[in-house]
C-alpha cells in the first residue's frame, strides 16, 4: 500500500472459520524514513449497492453533459437564426 494504492479488496477466500486476520505492510516508495498511517478503515462493500451507485452516478453525470450540450445547441440555433 502506498499513496497511489490505498485500497485492498478482501474476498471470502481470505476468511478462516469466519475470521479475518489482517496485517498491513506499507511503504513510502523511494523516500526513506518512517511514516505513520493517519487513518485506516475497514469497510464491507455490498457489491449490488456499489454497482447501483456507480450506474446511477454515470446516469447523473451523463444528464449533466446532455443538459450542457442542449443549452449550447439552443444558443447556436438562436445565433444562427
* pLDDT tens per residue across span 21-70: 777 766 666 677 776 767 777 777 888 998 999 999 999 999 999 999 99
- 14 pLDDT band (50/70/90 cuts)? confident
Q: How far apart are CA 78 and CA 36, in angstroms?
A: 59
C-alpha pair distances (Å), 10 with each of 1, 3, 43, 76: 14, 19, 10, 51
User: Would you state the pLDDT for residue 81?
Assistant: 67
pLDDT at 74: 86
DSSP 30: T
Query: 24: closest CA among 48, 12, 42?
Result: 42
Cα dihedral angle (10, 12, 15, 21), rounded to 10 degrees?
10
Amino acid at each position: 500500500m502506498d499513496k497511489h494504492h490505498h485500497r485492498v479488496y478482501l474476498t471470502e477466500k481470505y476468511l478462516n472459520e469466519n475470521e479475518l486476520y489482517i496485517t498491513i505492510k506499507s511503504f513510502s516508495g523511494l523516500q526513506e524514513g518512517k511514516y505513520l498511517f493517519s487513518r485506516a478503515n475497514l469497510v464491507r462493500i455490498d457489491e449490488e449497492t456499489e454497482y447501483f451507485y456507480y450506474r446511477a452516478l454515470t446516469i447523473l453525470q451523463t444528464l449533466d453533459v446532455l443538459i450542457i450540450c442542449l443549452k449550447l445547441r439552443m444558443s447556436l440555433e438562436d445565433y444562427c437564426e
